[in-house]
Amino acid sequence: MTERTQEIEELAAEIDRLAMARPHAASLLQAFGPLILGRHRWLATKQGPTGTFPVDPLKYQGGISLMQQCRLLLPEDPWQEAGIVIAEAIEQGFPQFAEDMRRLAQRIGEEQFDCFALCDAANDNDQLAGEANRLGLEPVSLHLFQRFLIRLILAKRAQDMKTTLAPLSWKKGYCPICGSLPHLASLREQGQRWLHCSTCSHEWPFSRLACPQCDYENPQETNAFFVDGDKENSVFTCGKCQTYLITSNQSGNLRQSHADLIALSLAHLDLVLQEKGFLPMAECEWNTFSSR
């Protein structure tokens, strides 16, 4: 068994273990598990950079993300290949979209669909609706496909840039690569807080007391909520911007857990905090109860 195969098997086993340990999150893990596995498996095969992404150290250290400095989504990225990975994962995890994803994967394989063109116009809802109509797909299924395909390509970019960015200083609460806010924080050695990007999966260290959303730092208005006696997991809340961030204590773990799996398994905390009037720092498909 190769090291890569072992990692995939361990990740699949972790999904199954969490589904058993936290039955309230089993349906979420079943739905999003194939996307997590597909992304991990695909990224493991894509070790070399696709293009060159120049970083201005002064701009970067001043809080200007890489996405603001250069174009991160390139036509030459492996869009069609990645598109099939995402379509197959959604088909497996979301039965209601299975027929749409089979049809889409077939179109991609026959080169009758341009994944890059769809994602290059990510903010054009009219174009997406028109494309869904042309393909005979539900707009919601095509939108889900678009979102996760963009995330996969940006995760590839984050993987490419990790070594380049490591020695540079970043002090902001939004992602230094794509500018998105975190959907999870983890506490590691000596209480250092790491933030996990909701879009590209990049992670970076950040002040433990400050709010990543608004930079507010006041012990009287930023708190850590613990639910049901769970001392390993908590929720950071900011009284100024009324947002929250789920936080997992990983300081005693020899091996870091997968951030998306942690977030999915703790989705009950999203519900608790939103019932208290707080909003998630980064909206994900599994934590937007208040907007439904």
Cβ within 8 Å of residue 208, ≥6 positions away: 187, 191, 192, 193
Confidence of residue 203 (pLDDT cuts 50, 70, 90): very high
- The predicted model gives 10-24 an average pLDDT of 92
Residue ranges covered by each domain of the chain: 46-165, 182-291
26-44 and 79-93 helices cross at what angle (nearest 10)? 160
Q: How far lies 147's CA from each of 152, 153, 201, 274, in Å?
A: 9, 10, 14, 23
CA diameter of the chain? 59
Asked whether the predicted pLDDT for residue 18 surpasses 70, the reply is yes
Asked whether the predicted pLDDT for residue 289 surpasses 60, the reply is no
Q: How far lies 235's CA from each of 46, 63, 84, 108, 259, in Å?
A: 34, 25, 36, 41, 15
Asked whether the predicted pLDDT for residue 143 surpasses 60, the reply is yes
Confidence of residue 291 (pLDDT cuts 50, 70, 90): very low
pLDDT digits (tens, 9 = 90+) for 230-269: 777 889 999 999 999 999 988 766 456 789 999 999 998 9
- The predicted model gives 32-41 an average pLDDT of 96
% of the chain at pLDDT higher than 70:
93
- The predicted model gives 220-230 an average pLDDT of 68
Q: What is the pLDDT of residue 51?
A: 72
pLDDT digits (tens, 9 = 90+) for 268-278: 899 989 999 99
Residue with tokens 């900011």: 238
Cβ within 8 Å of residue 104, ≥6 positions away: 83, 87, 113, 135, 137, 142, 145
- The predicted model gives 88-113 an average pLDDT of 97
Asked whether the predicted pLDDT for residue 212 surpasses 60, the reply is yes
Mean pLDDT computed over every residue of the chain: 90
169: left (phi over 0), alpha (psi -120 to 50) or beta: beta
- pTM equals 0.92
Q: Between β-strands 243-249 and 193-197, what pairing exists: parallel, antiparallel or unpaired?
A: unpaired
CATH for 182-291 is 3.90.1670.10
Q: What is the pLDDT of residue 229?
A: 66
Q: What is the pLDDT of residue 290?
A: 45
Q: What is the pLDDT of residue 227?
A: 66
